[in-house]
Copies of this chain bind each other. A is one copy, B any other.
Amino acid sequence: MHLATLVHDDVIDNAKTRRGAETLQKKFGKRTAVICGDYLFCLALKCIESIPNKREYADIDFVDYMGKVCLGELTQHVNNGNVDISVFTYLKIISGKTAALFEASFFGGIVFCDDEQKDFEKYKRLGHYIGMIFQLNDDCIDFEATQELAKKPVQSDFDQGVITLPLIYAFEKKQDFKNQLKENKVQRSEMNRIVFEAGGLAYAHQTAKKYYDKSMRIIEGLNDTPSKKERLLFLLNKSYNGLKK
């Protein structure tokens, strides 16, 4: 399912490479890429359906998650270049486009595992939070990291009209800055400095920290083996620390 969204993303962005390899869209054209994305989506649903006795949970919810991802992406697009976007709308967008996909993965894991006692709600929330952390971190990376370190283009969100939390927070602190940016009067290096000084990056990291703490409490409260908890903690820390060593 994730692969299907990536293939369609590459069509939308006219992307030439993905994870260092040539994209379907570059290699075989838009037609093949759009339809292959649709086909991958079919294959994902077929996989889900093929699991015996588990259809009662799986079918409806996975389509719901896919719908949420689509709506998150559409809401982001509607707000493209909107410097007046609120923190609330931003969180709603990433809650759809990223956290819903993470939640679906966690939900899939718990649906398909053989444990007798399964706490669906806790696992779903944990997946959601880790998705939020991942996206907040990713949005900070766009400001903080080099292309070499991030292994993808950085300082590119704003150019593509994607307004993320560090910037939204800086706008709230410095109204002048927003106006200057609207008039194209700010250079990129200047923008990075202002976002940093206004505390935009710190705020985004703090927000991620809140989801981190909530996740920790869920993991601690799970009725699972220590080794399972350890692996969940590993995943959580990986999302939270991002490119940090």
User: A-side interface residues toward B, CB under 8 Å?
Assistant: 5, 8, 11-12, 29-32, 34-39, 41-43, 45-46, 49, 55, 59-60, 63-64, 66-67, 70-71, 73-74, 77
| Alpha-carbon gap, A60 to B73, bound state (A) | 27
A8 touches B30 (CB 8 A): no
Closest B residue to A4 using CB positions: B38
| Alpha-carbon gap, A29 to B73, bound state (A) | 13
| Alpha-carbon gap, A45 to B44, bound state (A) | 13
Closest Cβ of chain B to A56, distance in Å, is: 9
Q: How many copies does the complex hold?
A: 2
Chain B residues whose C-beta falls within 8 Å of the C-beta of A66 in the assembled complex: 38, 42
Which residue from B30, B41, B42, B64 sits with its C-beta under 8 Å from A11?
Answer: B30
B36 touches A74 (CB 8 A): yes
Closest Cβ of chain B to A211, distance in Å, is: 26
